[in-house]
Amino acid sequence: MIEVNDIHKSFDNSHILKGVTTSFQKGKTNLIIGQSGSGKTVFLKCLLGLFTPEEGTISYDGKIYTDLTDEQKRDLRQEMGMVFQGSALFDSMTVEGNVKFPLEMFTKQSKSEMQDRADFVLKRVNLVDAHHKYPSEISGGMQKRVAIARAIVMNPKYLFCDEPNSGLDPKTAIVIDNLIKEITEEYNITTVINTHDMNSVMEIGEKILFLKDGLKAWEGSNKEIFKTDNETVTDFVYSSDLFKKVRQMYIEERN
């Protein structure tokens, strides 16, 4: 479980996160939504320890980040997996090389242990014939699978994904979303995902945090978000015609 308590983050004179408090449960897919520029990536980078909030605390299963020694911080970071916006694979490495990279960097495993672990995670994301291909030789959806395999290869307690399905067609996007949800449940990971995609919200939004102007504007589940009368939320969620129609159906059902 991750507990975020009143965090503030500024750059020069711009105050980006203005006191956000929330928590993310283990084994659940937690989503962050909000307009472009609302601070989702900055928030995720705070969770990753890449940015240090000027105020407030973040605790990971009870361990407050700023209270840890450098060594403890390093250990904690090794318990975090990350899928970056746009996959961020190493182009010059094969699929297998990309997946083994964290093991080579951070563990003392033998070659055969690394091979077994890479085989295992690649199989888990349903990639069995791509070990020796390069990122440029596989589809966008396959690249995301490789990025997920790499993010879970160290068996993380925490998984952070920044727009994991950007650039994918809607069907592939849902496959990737569901894969992340399954893995989260299977390995009891605390997963936090930034997304723009209302399909993701519907499919896997067990907990949703809506950021607006650096503040938490709303939080709740996917079941609740389509029923709320909070105008800030409805303005955002029903910005597309499709969802306006879904909303209308809800209202008619209710009356």
Question: Residue 105, Cβ neighbours under 10 Å: how many?
Answer: 9
Q: Is 36 in the site for ligand ATP (CB under 6 A)?
A: yes
# binding residues, Mg ion (CB under 5 A):
2
The first and second tokens of residue 124, run together, are 């888990």
Q: Which residue matches tokens 């699929």?
A: 95
Q: Identify which range of 39-47, 96-104, 118-126, 238-246 contacts ligand ATP by CB under 6 A.
A: 39-47
Q: What is the largest CA-CA distance in the chain?
A: 64
Q: Which helix (H) or strand (E) holds 99?
A: helix 95-106
Site string for Mg ion, 41-60 (x = CB under 5 A): x-------------------
Tokens at 250, concatenated: 């809800």
Whichever of 9 and 100 has its CB closer to ligand ATP, that residue is 9
Pick what 36 binds: ligand ATP, Mg ion, none; C-beta below 5 to 8 Å, kind-dependent: ligand ATP
Listed residue (23, 15, 21) closest to 56, CA to CA: 21
34 is a site residue for ligand ATP (CB under 6 A): yes
- Find the angle CA(183)-CA(154)-CA(42) to the nearest 5 degrees: 75
Counting contacts by CB under 6 A, is residue 13 touching ligand ATP? no
Dihedral sign, CA of 199, 202, 205, 207?
Answer: positive
For the bound state, the minimum distance from the C-beta of residue 126 to ligand ATP, rounded and expressed in Å, comes to: 27
Q: Binding segment for ligand ATP among 36-44, 69-77, 199-207, 218-226 (CB under 6 A)?
A: 36-44
Using CB under 6 A, which residues numbered 64 to 93 contact ligand ATP? Answer: none
What gap in Å lies between CA 233 and CA 139, rounded to an integer? Answer: 34
Site membership for ligand ATP, residue 40 (CB under 6 A)? yes
Residue 116 contacts residue 88 (beta carbons within 8 Å):
no
The answer to whether 145 contacts ligand ATP (rule: CB under 6 A) is no
Compare residues 94 and 200 and give the one whose CB is closer to Mg ion. 200
Query: Which of residues 41 and 200 has its CB atom nearest to ligand ATP in the complex?
Result: 41
In sign, the C-alpha dihedral spanning 188, 193, 198, 200 is negative
**Residues of the shown chain interacting with Mg ion in the complex, contacts defined by CB under 5 A:** 40-41
Give me the residues that bind ligand ATP (CB under 6 A), please: 11, 16, 34, 36-42
